[in-house]
């Protein structure tokens, strides 16, 4: 916990000027708060003096008191404004760092973690940190100066009674600490269950069509209720236990207040204190205890903030992608020669996938990769793009090990069209021009025509300026796929990766796309992963993979003559053509 707080303070400490003005505002505000009780005591003594009531003196004191309270309120407002600004600047910086971190984390992080939980850390946890910082920072700034100032004023009035008040502080602190140490674990659990709830909700919302088609609604509701119930349970427990700290501290402070009142009365009877002094001292006793009450009152937010900060720092502490080597090479031109040299790779050490894989691909070759699920087809693509690094061996492009290339430069050599489409909220024009935002309108239209997307785009109400929702929910799956194909055609990379790129497109459109792909792949090295074998018959070379190994290799006609795995797979799909 201490390390987490220290790390948060590192972010806060970057705003030294704002902190300095906040401290100055807190000092002036507290000074006004502490000087006021002294004036109240003098006013009371002036009205109960034996010589008679000094109305003019009391009036002057009341006017001065009014000015003091106005000044204190002004600087209290300024303190509140500055602490708000510090808090929001800090979490703004924290979100920026977190987003930058998410951009450099390896793909494996997203494979292992629910997207909803990651979003929860980015949004909910940072908001909780903001609330905790705001409440805690104000309580701390005011509290320190109030406690020190109140002790000084009380000592000037009566050291003995001051000792009684001061001794109540440790009792109040340890009472609150005893409770908060037991609630911190529950706050961590609460943050974790909140992340799970967000993750599960996002999954069910994204997959709502599948949920409905498999009549999973009742089970989804039941699982949601279970997770929500656990969140409710941990939330209630953490809030209840933490809420005990403030009343417990108040009990200690009230006992001390009562003792001070009795002692003050005895001192007044003996002539050691005046009525005004007793009034001032009792107010100082309340002022002294207020910071402890305030701090224990915001401990709930502060504990929740620390628990959320731990979840955020967990991501910030993860290892990023292996950085590019110093002086990383860059391909100025790319012929498209690719070599897999004794490559071995597995996602988990205890489960081998690709072992001693060797393959030479000549420039301009069209390579199709087929095989059953889990054979390692998409893994080859992940390794080519360096989404994952090989465990053994090497992959070379134009004779250069891809681990020596700058990632941006390496990935710029490939254009990818995946089975799972991704579009963002914006115009169709912007979605096509994602890789080339400066592309001219004529180039965008040409790419759309080559992809077979121009026709349906022009039938839309606003054509290329049509706004699509996030992930393209207001157009069909096939239309989304056409837009992603147009995006790659506009980028015009030297090599292509097509991973089930036509899986969501009807047969007629597929024929058009195949003609476009033929034009696009001419002279370019291309990798085509497909289950629909009609899309790969014209490939220069077809690799049949099984458990990370090439079990068959050749052209479409050669593999059919072998009457092996590929022939069986092809005949199962096109037996009517035999």
Structural domain boundaries in the chain: 2-316
User: Confidence band (pLDDT; 50, 70, 90) for 578?
Assistant: very low
CA distances from 194 to 10, 164, 310, 448 (A): 27, 44, 14, 43
pLDDT over 50 (residue 295): yes
The angle formed by the CA atoms of residues 530, 534 and 539, to the nearest 5 degrees, is 70
pLDDT over 70 (residue 577): no
Q: Which of 39-53, 191-205, 231-245, 482-496 has the highest mean pLDDT?
A: 482-496
The better pLDDT of the pair 264, 229 is held by: 229
CA distances from 474 to 240, 448, 460, 469, 470 (A): 46, 18, 11, 6, 9
User: 190: which 2 tokens?
Assistant: 């609460």
Architecture of the structural domain at 2-316: Up-down Bundle (1.20)
> How confident is the model over 123-180, as pLDDT tens digits?
888 888 888 876 777 777 788 888 888 888 888 887 888 887 787 777 776 776 677 6
Lowest mean pLDDT among 30-39, 66-75, 87-96, 470-479: 470-479
pLDDT over 70 (residue 237): yes
User: 320: which 2 tokens?
Assistant: 């990023």
User: Confidence band (pLDDT; 50, 70, 90) for 504?
Assistant: low
Average pLDDT over residues 102-111: 82
Query: What's the pLDDT at 494?
Result: 87
The C-alpha atoms of residue 182 and residue 84 are separated, in whole angstroms, by 29
pLDDT over 70 (residue 213): no
Query: What's the pLDDT at 214?
Result: 65
% of residues, the chain, pLDDT over 90: 6
The DSSP bridge pattern shows strands 366-371 and 414-417 to be: unpaired
pLDDT over 60 (residue 75): yes
Residue 385 near residue 397, CB atoms below 8 Å: no
pLDDT over 50 (residue 226): yes
Lowest mean pLDDT among 16-25, 194-203, 471-480: 471-480
The C-alpha atoms of residue 190 and residue 187 are separated, in whole angstroms, by 5
The C-alpha atoms of residue 563 and residue 550 are separated, in whole angstroms, by 16
Dihedral through CA 521, CA 525, CA 529, CA 533, nearest 10?
Answer: 50
Beta bridge partners of 426: 468
The better pLDDT of the pair 115, 20 is held by: 20
The C-alpha atoms of residue 100 and residue 220 are separated, in whole angstroms, by 34
């Amino acid at each position: 916990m201490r390390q987490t707080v220290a790390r948060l303070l590192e972010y806060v400490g970057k705003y030294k000027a704002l902190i300095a003005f906040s401290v100055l505002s807190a000092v002036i505000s507290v000074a006004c708060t502490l000087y006021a009780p002294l004036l109240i005591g003098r006013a009371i003594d002036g009205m109960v003096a034996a010589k008679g009531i000094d109305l003019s003196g009391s009036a002057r004191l009341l006017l001065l008191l009014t000015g003091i309270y106005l000044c204190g309120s002004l600087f209290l407002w300024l303190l509140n404004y500055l602490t708000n600004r510090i808090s929001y600047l800090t979490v703004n910086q924290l979100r920026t760092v977190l987003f930058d971190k998410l951009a450099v984390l390896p793909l494996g992080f997203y494979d292992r973690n629910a997207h909803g939980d990651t979003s929860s850390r980015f949004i909910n946890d940072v908001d909780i940190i903001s609330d905790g910082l705001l409440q805690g920072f104000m309580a701390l700034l005011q509290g320190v100066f109030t406690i020190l100032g109140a002790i000084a004023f009380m000592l000037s009035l009566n050291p003995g009674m001051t000792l009684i008040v001061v001794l109540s502080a440790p009792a109040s602190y340890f009472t609150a600490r005893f409770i908060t140490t037991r609630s911190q674990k529950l706050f961590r659990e609460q943050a974790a269950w909140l992340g799970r709830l967000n993750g599960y909700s996002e999954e069910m919302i994204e997959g709502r069509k599948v949920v409905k088609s498999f009549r999973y609604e009742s089970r989804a509701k039941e699982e949601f209720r279970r997770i929500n119930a656990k969140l409710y349970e941990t939330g209630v427990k953490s809030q209840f236990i933490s809420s005990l700290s403030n009343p417990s501290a108040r009990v200690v402070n009230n006992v001390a207040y009562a003792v001070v009142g009795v002692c003050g009365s005895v001192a007044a009877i003996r002539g050691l204190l005046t009525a005004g002094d007793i009034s001032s001292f009792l107010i100082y006793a309340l002022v002294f205890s207020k910071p402890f009450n305030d701090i224990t009152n915001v401990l709930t937010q502060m504990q929740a903030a620390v628990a959320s900060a731990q979840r955020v720092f967990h991501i910030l502490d993860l290892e990023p992608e292996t950085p590019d080597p110093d002086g990383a090479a860059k391909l100025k031109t790319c012929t498209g020669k690719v070599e897999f040299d004794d490559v071995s790779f597995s996602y988990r050490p205890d489960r081998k996938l690709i072992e001693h894989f060797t393959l030479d691909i000549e420039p301009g070759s069209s390579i199709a990769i087929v095989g059953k699920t889990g054979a390692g087809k998409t893994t080859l693509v992940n390794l080519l793009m360096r989404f994952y690094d090989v465990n053994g061996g090497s992959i070379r492009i134009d004779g250069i090990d891809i681990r020596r290339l700058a990632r941006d430069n390496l990935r710029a050599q490939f254009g990818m069209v995946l089975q799972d489409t991704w579009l963002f909220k914006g115009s169709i024009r912007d979605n096509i021009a994602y890789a080339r935002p400066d592309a001219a309108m004529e180039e965008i239209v040409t790419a759309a025509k080559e992809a077979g997307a121009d026709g349906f785009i022009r039938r839309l109400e606003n054509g290329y300026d049509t706004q699509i929702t996030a992930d393209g929910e207001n157009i069909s799956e096939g239309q989304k796929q056409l837009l992603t194909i147009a995006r790659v055609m506009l980028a015009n990379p030297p090599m292509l990766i097509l991973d089930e790129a036509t899986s969501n497109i009807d047969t007629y459109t597929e024929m058009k796309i195949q003609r476009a792909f033929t034009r696009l792949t001419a002279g370019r090295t291309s990798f085509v992963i497909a289950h629909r074998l009609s899309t790969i018959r014209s490939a220069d070379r077809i690799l049949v993979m099984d458990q990370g190994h090439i079990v068959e290799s050749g052209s479409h006609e050669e593999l059919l003559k072998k009457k092996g795995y590929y022939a069986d797979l092809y005949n199962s799909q096109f037996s009517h053509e035999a």
